[in-house]
Amino acid sequence: MSGYGEGKGVSYNSYLKVKELKELQLCLSDPAHHDEPLFIIIHQTYELWFKLILHELDSIVKILEDTDLDDAKIWQANFYLKRVVAIQKHLVNQIHILETMAPKEFLGFRNHLNPASGFQSSQFREIEFLGGMKDTNMLKYFSHEHAAVVDLQKRFDSHSLHDLFFKVITWAGFKPVMDKETDSEEEKKNKLEQRVQEIKKLYDQAAKYPHIYDLAELLLDFDEGILLWRKHHATVVERIIGFKQGTGGSEGVAYLKSTWTKKCFPELWQVRTYLEI
Ligand code: HEM
């Protein structure tokens, strides 16, 4: 009679590749600094969660791209979006584990990381691009990684959640006017204002469009999730390196704070200003 784990089938460790996983934390400091495993593991776990977020977002995009849209499909997209938002809440909390690392401890191995930087997290940029924050300037950080440029370019050329949200409300009968590449700044500003007013009509009749209203609020949660991560990350960075320059060559905290204005769905933020009882 065989006991637990003695059979030939799959085991916990073999299924999850725990042995291989444990071999992936290679410290650059020598002898390895006590806090470098923390630094590596926290980044690796972020990248794993980013991978899952992209997996969920890809499904959402596929659902919303469907030309034969219906309420059940929007409900399914919302179902996956709720998972993304739950992961983002975890990601905001997780950054605080880094606060247990004293600034002097970090300096003990920081010089080994130069010039690697969070700037080069291609999955983070993919999430931004997928949301709608598309910026080709970001591609320059990946000149050393052809595969990352290919992935990002693919995201750049594909529908974003921003595009698809407006596709959904158009399907429901609203008439948002989208930007064209050739539009002037003034035209873009006017069109954005027009879209805000279309969303206001949706918010004024939320009960008539429950799944689309939920979609809008979940997309706002997603946008807020990115923003809250940015704020907590910048705060932890200030606590650890103060106003030192980043290893990626930016001004550090001053640069990070400048990203707090970035939004995937400016219309969903702005509509609040116009709502009345
Ligand atoms: C000791 C901890 C950390 C420090 C001191 C730090 C510092 C910085 C700095 C200074 C930048 C600006 C770019 C540069 O010049 O390098 C940056 C960007 C970034 N970091 Fe961190 N970081 C830390 C932890 C993390 C963690 C745990 C993640 C998890 C993914 C992360 C992800 C990113 C990302 C994605 C960016 C790009 C942000 C953007 O351009 O909007 N960082 N980091």
Q: Each residue of 81-138: pLDDT tens digit?
A: 999 999 999 999 999 999 999 999 999 999 999 999 999 999 999 999 999 999 989 9
Whole-number pLDDT of residue 196: 98
Residue 59 pLDDT > 60, yes or no?
Answer: yes
Whole-number pLDDT of residue 8: 75
In one-letter notation, the amino acid at residue 124 is F
Q: What is the DSSP string of the chain?
A: ---TT-SSS--HHHHHTHHHHHTT----SSSPPTTHHHHHHHHHHHHHHHHHHHHHHHHHHHHHH-SS--HHHHHHHHHHHHHHHHHHHHHHHHGGGGGGS-HHHHHHHHTTTTT--GGG-HHHHHHHHHHT---GGGGGGGTT-HHHHHHHHHHHHSPPHHHHHHHHHHHTT--PPPP-TT--HHHHHHHHHHHHHHHHHHHHTGGGSHHHHHHHHHHHHHHHHHHHHHHHHHHHHHHHHTTPPPTTSS-THHHHHHGGG--S-HHHHHHHHH---
Instruction: Please check whether residue 67 lies inside any domain of the structure.
Output: yes
**What's the chain's average pLDDT?**
95
Name the burial class of residue 165, with classes exposed (0-12), middle (13-18) and buried (19+) by CB atoms within 10 angstroms of its CB: buried
Whole-number pLDDT of residue 3: 55
Ligand 1: distance of its center to the CA of 268 in Å?
Answer: 27
pLDDT tier at 205, thresholds 50, 70, 90: very high
Whole-number pLDDT of residue 143: 87
> Does ligand 1 lie within 6 Å of residue 166's CB atom?
no
Name the token pair of 30. Answer: 């020598």
Measuring CA to CA, which residue among 89, 84, 76 is closest to residue 57? Answer: 84
> Does ligand 1 lie within 6 Å of residue 225's CB atom?
no
Residue 200 pLDDT > 90, yes or no?
Answer: yes
> pLDDT higher for 171 or 7?
171
Instruction: Please check whether residue 195 lies inside any domain of the structure.
Output: yes
Name the burial class of residue 5, with classes exposed (0-12), middle (13-18) and buried (19+) by CB atoms within 10 angstroms of its CB: exposed
Instruction: Please check whether residue 3 lies inside any domain of the structure.
Output: no
Instruction: Please check whether residue 13 lies inside any domain of the structure.
Output: no
Segment 173-191 mean pLDDT: 97
> Looking at the whole model, is its pTM more than 0.85?
yes
In one-letter notation, the amino acid at residue 193 is E
Q: Whose CA is nearest to atom 7 of ligand 1?
A: 237
Whole-number pLDDT of residue 5: 54
Q: Whose CA is nearest to atom 22 of ligand 1?
A: 237
257 phi and psi, to 5 degrees? -65, -30
Beta-carbon neighbour count of residue 140 at 10 Å? Answer: 9
Q: Pick the range with the lowest mean pLDDT from 25-39, 136-150, 202-216, 258-272.
A: 136-150
Ligand 1: distance of its center to the CA of 42 in Å?
Answer: 12
Whole-number pLDDT of residue 242: 97
In one-letter notation, the amino acid at residue 236 is V
Q: Residue 168: which CATH number?
A: 1.20.58.480
Ligand 1: distance of its center to the CA of 229 in Å?
Answer: 11
> Does ligand 1 lie within 6 Å of residue 233's CB atom?
yes
Instruction: Please check whether residue 74 lies inside any domain of the structure.
Output: yes
Name the token pair of 17. Answer: 């590749």
Residue 151 pLDDT > 70, yes or no?
Answer: yes
Whole-number pLDDT of residue 16: 98
Whole-number pLDDT of residue 215: 98
Q: How far from 244 is each of 15, 103, 214, 232, 251, CA to CA, in Å? A: 43, 12, 42, 17, 7
Residue 208 pLDDT > 60, yes or no?
Answer: yes
Q: Whose CA is nearest to atom 2 of ligand 1?
A: 237
Count: domains in the chain: 1
Q: How far apart are CA 164 and CA 57, in angstroms?
A: 12
> Does ligand 1 lie within 6 Å of residue 94's CB atom?
no
Name the burial class of residue 250, with classes exposed (0-12), middle (13-18) and buried (19+) by CB atoms within 10 angstroms of its CB: middle
Instruction: Please check whether residue 176 lies inside any domain of the structure.
Output: yes
Q: How far apart are CA 131 and CA 57, in angstroms?
A: 9
Residue 259 pLDDT > 80, yes or no?
Answer: yes
Segment 65-93 mean pLDDT: 97
Range(s) of the domain holding residue 188: 33-108+119-274
Residue 1 pLDDT > 70, yes or no?
Answer: no
Instruction: Please check whether residue 260 lies inside any domain of the structure.
Output: yes
Q: How far apart are CA 141 and CA 242, in angstroms?
A: 23
Instruction: Please check whether residue 16 lies inside any domain of the structure.
Output: no
